[in-house]
Chains A and B, each alone.
Chain A
Amino acid sequence: MNNNLTIARDNTGKPSWQFLISELKPKGKFLTPFNIISIPVMILGLILIVIRFWKGLGAITNLTQEVPWGLWIGFDVVTGVAFAGGAYVLTFMVYILNMQKYHSIVRITVLNGFLAYVFYAGALLLDLGRPWNVINPIIGNSFGTSSVLFLVAWHFLLYMIAQLIEFSPAIAEWLGAKRARKILSGMTIAAVIFGITLSTLHQSGLGALYLMCKDKIHPLWYSEFIPVLFFVSSIFAGLSMVIFEGSISHRVFFDQISEKNHKSHNGIITGLSKICAVAMFAYFFLQLLVFVHGRHWELLNTPMGYWYILEMAGFVLLPMALYFYSYRRQNVTLIKVAAVLTMLGVILNRLNVTVIGFKWAASVRYVPTWMEFAVTLAVIFAEIWIFRWVINRMPVLRESPSWVNEEN
């Protein structure tokens, strides 16, 4: 273990509360470019959120009775959850298929997934007219079992708990709680299996939400197979996020990563690029099949049709070919380009279903206000702040403290 780190340190004997208080203090340089940009945005976002709860949704959003779900649902919730899909894919690979090569990035991916759920699903509260009612499906104040939202609500809750359990050994190591770590790490495999089951169901469940809007969604994007498409695309959306986020945290937190993990990083990225290429290949054929099944040929030659073709060719086929080519060439830079392109494609696809293709023919189109964008950005920045706070303190990227190996 690297003992030279001044930022990251585990508790070695101090009482937990003293340690916790000392860990709450900010560490490292404060005036970084990221902080200078993100702090004003977060303050602005906070002010806007206060206004939203004080004066109502109409005060800062362009949402109406006609279009009740806007950017906050379409981007924060639907897209954010797709990007968090990396956690279930990776835990499946490592704990079920025993692909130990990817073990070193499991913790950071699970942390990323967990925070994504907490923040982006948390952003759902902003969009609910009466947010306090969100616990109704949980506490049974009319469960609403016939609604897809019932499934989504329970799954989000349970999946967040499962991910917290998957991540909890890192928290125990940080606090120096040896017994707790033993118990919690024993629960990991159960949490993983539970989490994967939930993920496969609610990734598609989010798509199923939009089955209710058959007449509102443009026919090129609406089909009864939205749940399947959402699920399959969450595989490569999540993995592309892992590649993208991994490359960034590899630079930002380079001092926490051991030499061995540094060297295996490229191998991990190329391995993931292969999985992405195959998943996108299958996804493209599914899309083709759904398109042919829908028989909307004539719609292709309309502006929305061109938009559809752009999504399929530019953001599915092209990144797939790039993943394929860069995997064959073992070109890590090109893999990162493909990852960014794929992520843009997933954002585009989710927004096409939820915002752009939603009520596409209405005379007054919904366009998000700048304030909706600002709040979205603030939510993302807040998540990155917490992410950084955790990584700088807990053994996520760095090696676990030495007592962990001694026990095993």
Chain B
Amino acid sequence: MDGFSYNNIFETKGIEYIIIIAFLLMIIPFWIAINRQVSLKSQISNAIGMLSESILRIPKGLLFNKNHTWVHLGKSGIAEVGIDDFLLHVTGELRFRELKKPGSFIRKGEMLAAADHNGKILKIYSPISGRVEKINLLLTETPAVVNDDPYEKGWICKIKPEGWTEETRSYFLADEALAWTKAELLRFKDFLAGSAMKYSPEASMVLLQDGGELCDRPLSGLPDEVWHDFQKSFLDMKG
């Protein structure tokens, strides 16, 4: 080869080797950077950004109470009881256990059921007193029902109420319910920023795993302590 010299970096293809080595060296930090867990802060701010009242369903004809249950009194005098959309959006899919038996008597504020999300338990309290007439069998057969349709097919039980007027006086209806849900969302954002940050060291936290649900259901990946706090601040009976 004429004029070939081992000192010429172009002729020895040295520069091409250097680029390939640079590529191999750079793909390592690139790969690490793209796979690092999405930081807790941006996950939480994402969750806060996504959870808005516009995605929550709040039917106008139901009475909502402060521990995130609803009641609806039908013509027959039997009231349906269920949990609200806020709770479902915050927690993710729930399964119900320890339901009250039909025929038994329940007082307002007594535990109606335990809602289980992957082993994390929330206690649901009854919003009214009365005799339990019926349990929704769909809940145990196809738990997805309550998640898709918490107000129609997803009722939890039917109760024959006693002292309805007195007990539901402070409950929210229609626009009041909407305003209250908005306030609850704000409160929940504060709660997330406070409690979630307190208990979850950043490394162990995965709110949004790769390919998991985005932003919706922020409690889903958080540790038991946060759920415990959530129970105290949002579900325990306050009247």
Chain A positions near chain B (C-beta within 8 angstroms): 101, 259, 263-264, 266-268, 270-271, 274, 277-278, 281-282, 285, 288-289, 292-293, 295, 324, 327-330, 332
Contact = CB atoms under 8 A, between A and B. Distances in A.
Contacts of A266: 213-215
A259 B149 CA distance: 11
A307 B108 CA distance: 73
A271 B34 contact: no
Contacts of A324: 33-34
Nearest to B148: A259
A328 B38 contact: yes
Nearest to A271: B211
Nearest to B149: A259
B4 interface: no
B31 A330 contact: no
Contacts of B211: 101, 267-268, 270-271
Nearest to A289: B19
Nearest to A332: B214
Given A327-B34, A330-B208, A330-B214, A285 B42 contact: no
Q: How large is the interface on B (under 10, 10 to 19, 20 to 34, 35 or more residues)?
A: 20 to 34
B210 interface: yes
10 contacts: A267-B212, A274-B34, A274-B210, A282-B23, A285-B23, A289-B19, A328-B34, A330-B42, A330-B208, A330-B215
- Do most interface residues of chain A lie in helix, strand or loop, or is the interface mixed? helix
Given A285-B19, A292-B15, A278 B214 contact: no
Given A289-B23, A328-B38, 11 more contacts: A263-B213, A266-B215, A267-B212, A271-B210, A274-B210, A278-B30, A285-B22, A285-B23, A289-B20, A324-B34, A328-B34
Nearest to B35: A274
Contacts of B23: 282, 285, 289
Interface string B1-30: 000000000100001100110110001001
Nearest to A265: B214
Given A271-B210, A328-B34, A330-B208, A292 B19 contact: yes
Interface string B114-125: 000000000000
B216 A263 contact: yes
A274 B34 CA distance: 8
Contacts of A259: 148
B129 interface: no
Q: 8 closest Cβ contacts across the A-B interface?
A: A266-B214, A285-B23, A267-B211, A271-B211, A101-B211, A289-B19, A292-B15, A259-B148
